[in-house]
Amino acid sequence: MTYTPEDGFPYYLEFVKGEDCLSLFTSLSTSAWLETLTEEQGNFRYAPGKWSVKQVIGHITDHERIKMARAFFLSRRESVELWGYDQNGLVNNSRFEELSLTQLVTDYLNVRKASASFVASLSPEQMQIKGNARQFEVTLEDFLRTVIGHEMHHIKVIREKYLV
C-alpha cells in the first residue's frame, strides 16, 4: 500500500523505518543543510498561498514540540491520545515571517537537542509502550521515528519545490 502525507503516521514512518531512533535525533544533517540557506531562500514561496521556507522550518519545529510532549506522556504511561492538530492555524498565528532564518534554525536546534536528550533517557521497555495515533496502534519508538520522518518529508519538499 502507498501512503500519502494525509495518512500521517504510516507515511512518515516509511522515511525512517528500521533506523535507530536515537541516531535519528542526534544527526546534524538537517541543521547543517538549513544553515546553508540564505535569508532570501527562507522567504521564498514556490506558489501563491504556499508556506515560505521559514514557515516550513517553523512548522517542523512546532511539530516536534507537539509530538515530543505527547511522547513524554506516553513514555510515562499516561493515557493520552496521540491526536492531530491544525498545522495551518499554528503557522498562520506564528511570527515565522518576522523572524530571521538564523533565529528559526537556532530554535529548531534547541528543540532537537531537548528531544535527543529525552530520547536518550528512554529505556528499551519504554520504547515499546503502545499508544494510538489516529486509527493506528503504535509503539513509542515508531511514534518518535515519525517526528524525523515528518521532517524528512518537508526537507524533501523544500529541495524539490523551493530550491530548484
Interval 3-47: pLDDT, tens:
666 667 788 888 998 889 999 999 999 999 999 999 999 999 999
pTM of the model: 0.93
In a domain, 35, yes or no: yes
In a domain, 24, yes or no: yes
For residue 157, the Cα-to-chain-centroid distance in whole angstroms is: 13
What cell was used for 58? 517553523
Range of the domain at 134: 5-39+50-162
In a domain, 68, yes or no: yes
CA distances (Å), 108 to each of 29, 50, 130, in order?
13, 21, 27
Residue 34's CATH number: 1.20.120.450
If residue 136 lies in a helix (H) or strand (E), which one and from where to where? strand 136-139
Count of domains forming the chain: 1
Average pLDDT over residues 120-124: 98
In a domain, 109, yes or no: yes
Residue with cell 518529508: 153
Nearest CA-CA partner of 55 in 88, 7, 83, 25? 88
